[in-house]
Amino acid sequence: MSTSHQTTPARPGPPTGRSPLPAPNPAPPRWRLWILPIGIALALVFLLHPGSKAAPTRKLTYTGFVNEVTANKVSTATITSTGSVTGTLHGGAAYTSQIPTALGDNGLSPLLRAHKVQVTGTIPSTSSLLSVLSFLLPLVLIVGVFVWIGRKSRKQLGGGLGGIMGIGKSKAKVYDEERPTTRFSDIAGYEGSKAEVMEVVDFLKHPGRYAAAGAVGPKGVLMVGPPGTGKTHLARAVAGEAGVPFFALSGSSFVEMFVGVGASRVRDLFADARKRSPSIIFIDEIDAIGGRRGPGGFGSNDEREQTLNQLLSDMDGFEPGAAVVVMAATNRAEILDTALLRPGRFDRTVEIPLPNQRERTAILAIHSKTKKLGPHVDLDAVSRGTPGFSGADLANLVNEAAINAVRARRTVISASDFDAARDRLLIGRRDASNALLPEEKHAVAVHEAGHALVALLSDHADPVAKVTILPRGAALGVTEQLPISERHLYPESYLTDTLAVRLGGRAAEILVLGEPSTGASNDLAGATDLATRMVREWGFSTEVGPIGYGPAGPSRDNPFAGRPYAEETQRAIDTEVARLLREAEVQATQLLREHLDTLGRVIDLLLERETVDGSDLAAVAGMSERAGPTRAVVPQAAAMAPVDPQPKAEAGPGSHTAAAGPRGTPRRFLP
């Protein structure tokens, strides 16, 4: 015996290897939509329908009303505060009248009492219809709002919890059939980082290959690197390459003003990811919820801490066989909670550093694909002159060069456009209105000539790329140095010569002008910071010894910390810092005094040209330019931004910049 039954046609299933998607809830019958309007209409009919037909009412003028009272025909009278009179006549007929406002009830009350009329006074009330509407209107509005929210939620969430109940739903954007177009081939450099991330993607696409060798894939991958290095861009490439659902959201999207919402969204996110496993969850800026707990962290009973606790629980409590990998990105890995970084949660950390010279060339080539470059533009020369630039910096550099070409009414980007773009990004906009007085221009030339000449005469200093006395931004003058090669370690001799170059401008002012000026304020601040770190952190002092005390004062780990050493140690550090700065000033002064004629020629050349290349400067000084990157495209390095330039009202003769360690922090030196 067989039975037949009718079934609802099934939705097309997902690709093979994935769990089927839940079917949407069926739409409610149309007759349900009429229940609320019909109920309201019946209530109105019931409340407003009269029980019996009322007798006709006579309208009386005030004179007619008085005549009826005088004739003893009025039985009752109801007077309101507005002067209206209603009642019944002898015989049961109803009447209505109006007392003129000017008359009031003068003489009316004694007349009514004399003719034995039953008088009552009432306050006028609204009609029964208005009373019912005032009661029902708020109710109708509330019900309508909930119905609207429910319909909207059904459309957006596919029949899930609607309205306010949907506040704990995950806000992750799911990339499944429609994936981003970014691929790993669109990312230049970072071959090691891409290999580690590709391993995760390959594990999710071919889990059997790893299971055969007994290998277990990572549960979490944390991408760490400075801002602008392309962590989110790499995640987009993962979404484009992966053949699995990809859930992408920001760490801040978990936190709301309602308590428990963040933890609810974490649970909902992982529940969705498990249903569609194998899958990838990407959390950008995870430090928004993954900060260290306890003293110096978020504190107890905090919404973000509850969200972090839920995240820790879900990452370490995956269902058996649920292939879900969590990827996250941050540039503040030092503040993440240690429980989040342990094996079993984020058990793989991918470092994404600043690109090297070869990688910068490839990145520039990618960003220049849609640009028209002139025949003399050498991207390899541009990359050699951009140490310390991130991928975002390089994209901005190419865009600024294109904007500079548009200003010149050209569509082809030339080498000079890259040069101008570099100056615009690192130093500031050229301000033609900020003209210097003749004596100020001479003082700036003396100051910058001192920096440049000390750099030329120092054996371990970086070569000079360009010197200018044209005001840019808050700097009245700039000396730019370009390193011969990208350094990873900085010897003491290099740092000592850097201090001398810092103080070369002040030494030139004292020798030529007879007194220093406020133009050396930025140089002194940068030199003091560098000397302090040489003594306190790097052990370049025989008096203090090879001890690294670390930075003094509050830190991100402990905002309430003070100096990690005694006052006597601080006094010794201050003494050694002052010694290093005095020795650097003596070194700079001695070099300039021995070459006063050369200093004068450099000053005259700066006053004549206002901007001098490193090769021209070396020719004037009678020296051969040290081997280094060419000046064909861009002359300065990425770390050459003016050192905390003073406001224009306080700026002195000039501001010096250096390629490596201008703020006392050599790049890639510290772990």
The ranges assigned to domains in the chain are 57-125, 173-351, 357-426, 438-620
CA distance 309 to 293: 10
Q: Do domains 173-351 and 357-426 have the same CATH topology?
A: no
3-state secondary structure of 372: coil
| Contact yes or no for 331/227 (Cβ under 8 A) | yes
Residue 53 in 3-state DSSP? coil
Residue 351 belongs to what H/E stretch?
strand 348-351
Our CA dihedral for 609, 610, 613, 619, rounded to 10 degrees, sits at 50
For 496, the 3-state DSSP assignment is helix
Which residues are CB-neighbours of 202 under 8 A, at least 6 positions away? 209
Residue 440: count of CB within 10 angstroms of its CB: 19
Whether 480 sits among the annotated catalytic residues: the reply is no
The CATH number of domain 173-351, selected from 2.70.160.11, 3.40.50.300, 3.40.190.10, 3.40.50.410: 3.40.50.300
Q: What is the residue type of 476? A: L
363-379 in b/e form (b: 16+ CB < 10 A) is bbebbbeeeebeeebbb
Chain centroid to CA 92: how far? 82
Nearest to 515 by CA among 657, 655, 652, 650: 652
Contacts of 351 (CB under 8 A, 6+ apart): 193, 224, 225
- Measured in degrees and rounded to the nearest 5, phi and psi for residue 251 equal -60, -30
Architecture field, domain 438-620: Up-down Bundle (1.20)
Task: Note if the pTM is more than 0.95.
Answer: no
CA dist 508 and 585 (Å) reads: 10
Q: How far apart are CA 538 and CA 532, in angstroms?
A: 9
Question: Alpha carbon of 68 to those of 88, 175, 187, 195: distances in Å?
Answer: 11, 88, 102, 108
CATH of domain 57-125: 3.30.720.210
pLDDT in the model for residue 457: 92
Strands (E), 357-498: 464-468, 478-481
Calpha distance 388→628 (Å, rounded): 17
State yes or no: cis peptide before 9, omega within 30 of 0: no
Which DSSP category does 510 fall into?
I
Whole-angstrom distance, CA of residue 188 vs CA of residue 191: 8
d(CA 362, CA 557): 37
Q: Which of 469, 504, 492, 515 is nearest to 611 (CA)?
A: 469
Token pair for 381: 């020369």
Neighbouring-strand partners of residue 472: 430, 475
- Other beta carbons within 10 Å of 242: 20
Task: Say if residues 599 and 345 touch (Cβ distance below 8 Å).
Answer: no
Per the residue annotation, which of 305, 448, 509, 576 is the catalytic one?
A: 448
pLDDT at 638: 29
Q: Is the separation of the CB atoms in 357 and 384 below 8 Å?
A: yes
Pick the CATH number of 357-426 from 1.50.10.10, 3.40.30.10, 3.40.50.1950, 1.10.8.60: 1.10.8.60
* Average pLDDT for runs of 10 along the chain of length 671: 41 42 53 68 63 66 82 82 79 80 67 79 61 69 71 48 47 60 77 81 80 80 87 81 81 67 81 83 86 60 76 72 80 85 84 86 88 89 83 90 91 88 77 72 92 92 87 79 80 94 94 90 92 92 85 52 76 94 95 92 90 87 54 30 31 38 30 27
The total number of residues shown for the chain amounts to: 671
Q: What is the pLDDT of residues 133-145, one digit of tens each?
A: 666 777 777 777 7
Residue 178: exposure state from Cβ atoms within 10 A (0-12, 13-18, ≥19): exposed
- Residue 311 in 3-state DSSP? helix
CA distance 388 to 639: 6
Strand-pairing partners, residue 279, are 324
